[in-house]
Amino acid sequence: MTTLADLEFDNRFTASLAADPATANRPRQAPDVAFSRVHPTPTSGPEVIAVSDEVAELLGLDQAQLASEAFRDMVSGNLVLHGMDPHAMRYGGHQFGNWAGQLGDGRAIILGELLTPDGSRQTLQLKGAGRTPYSRSADGLAVLRSSIREFLCSEAMHHLGVPTTRALSLALTGDQVMRDMLYDGHPALEPGAVVLRVAPTFIRFGNFELPASLGEADRLRELTDFTIREYFPDLVGDDGPIDAETVIAFYRRVVESTADMIVHWQRVGFVHGVMNTDNLSILGLTIDYGPYGWLEDYDPDWTPNTTDRHGRRYRFGNQPGIGQWNLAQLGNALFPLVGDAEPLQDAIDGYVDRFKAGYGDMVRSKLGLKTWDVERDEPFTIELFDLLRAAETDMTVFFRRLADVPLRSDDSTGVDRVTGLDEAFYAPELVDDELRVRWGRWLEDYAARAAGEGLDDESRRAQMNRVNPIYVMRNWLAQEAIDASTAGDHWGVTALLDVMRDPYTERPGLEHFASKRPDWARTRVGCSMLSCSS
């Protein structure tokens, strides 16, 4: 049996990049550095609520270690292990399309880079661990409701097959935190909490943007060289030079992984809610689960973020375009290392083709088809999503029910098949005759497409159910867990975590977790809209 003291850390980020020489933990500008060393704020009464066993296994932690007081203290900010090097990263970013200057880890503190049993390195980061030099006017803390959402969604996204940062643990701090949830002048004390997040790195687009914007050429070069050698080593071989061509190849990789990630978001109905450039991972991982949400009824104009309610910049249907816009800002930041805009432009021009190809393949798989031809199938796809929007239709339920609709029918109009989709409609009685006729025609076309590929109902259903989840981290399910935990019962968190471990397999007794949004959640704060403090 080992203890946490046996864990081995190899902190290459802090060993390789420029450290802030100042040690004062107060909000300030920190020029010409990559990070500032800072320790977590101690908590008064830590209590571990939940642990992801899968992440624990990834890190090489056994059950004895997870049950120890040392683990409780480490994941709540009260214990810094030997070999850790706590710090907050410095970065900038474009927020809602506007340059915001220095931002940095305002309420996240990286503990260190852990060497795992498989020989890889995973960065451990506490979110809600207290003030850092980048906290500006904030306290650097997090509350229970936002921490539950981050913990559960990180793990749910992983099991859905979406690239994401992970979450090891969720812990109460025993402290109260003041928050004005809707920024409407009604602050209240809430239970404080901390999430321990895990990823190979938490480097973001904004890490490159800030030194580039300030003319910190040495810092930009150091960060780029470090990132390529550590996370894209195949681009340089055995300590080969990093020249302009290497930087362009690195940029292409980021373009591709970002496009692929957003295709996954669109597949499962995930809305990030705050796609600022400081919230985009250099590895194409979903990062920073703040005011995110899941489509209940299919609405490409929906955003969960109260701050975004007017412009709707980060709405579901706009995520692909925002991904490209953010990548353009990264390209601008890398330009000083390349000196030629044309190859960078060529790289980002490839985003559209990459996304379109991935999106078409994604829709094909959601429909259980074998082939996809843009010219033939794009109008077919446009009509489908127009129909989903025409009546309030639950996207997740729809695709599971579509898998059950038989391809053969005695009704040549296809209208009879529509009744098999009624479960997906929030108000089936409002799906009038005209809409049912449109649905019937679409279903006839769909049946013809599937039959033309020699698909039978059983094989088609199996294919569709592999990519169309039955369980997703619906906003109202998270809110139920939050309500219970706030009242002192954390069963809802562990139950949801367990359900989301296998989101594609329908299991008896879990019907509640596959249900459409209930009426009480339609307009409730935390279900329909959230703020950046949510």
Spatial strand order of the sheet with 188-199 comes to 35-37, 87-89, 108-115, 121-127, 188-199, 166-179, 47-51
For the beta carbon of residue 520, count every other beta carbon within 10 angstroms. Answer: 10
Phi-psi region of 128 (alpha: psi -120 to 50; beta: other; left: phi over 0): left
Token pair for 67: 């049950």
Question: Left, alpha or beta for 431 (phi > 0: left; psi -120 to 50: alpha)?
Answer: beta
What is the spatial distance between Cα 74 and Cα 135, in angstroms, rounded to a whole number? 22
What are the residue numbers of the active site? 278
With beta carbons less than 8 A apart as the criterion, state whether 134 and 162 touch: no
Helix (H) or strand (E) segment spanning residue 335: helix 319-338
Q: What angle do CA 74, 78, 80 make, to 5 degrees?
A: 60
CA gap 92, 459 in Å, rounded: 49
CA neighbor of 401 nearest in space, from 376, 369, 355, 367: 367
Pairing relation of β-strands 92-95 and 98-102?
antiparallel
Reading the block at residue 99, the tokens are 């340059």
Taking the CA of residue 338 as centre, how many other CA atoms within 13 Å lie in the half-sphere pointing to its CB? 21
> 177 by DSSP, 3-state: which?
strand
- Its sign, for the CA torsion 202, 173, 527, 294, is positive
Distance CA 228, CA 233 (A): 6
Burial of 429 (0-12, 13-18, 19+ CB in 10 A): exposed
Chain position carrying tokens 């980060």: 314
- By the 10 Å C-beta count (0-12 exposed, 13-18 middle, 19+ buried), 407 is classed as middle
Non-local (6+) Cβ contacts of 297 within 8 A are: 392, 393, 394, 395, 426, 517
Report the 10 Å Cβ neighbour count for 274.
23
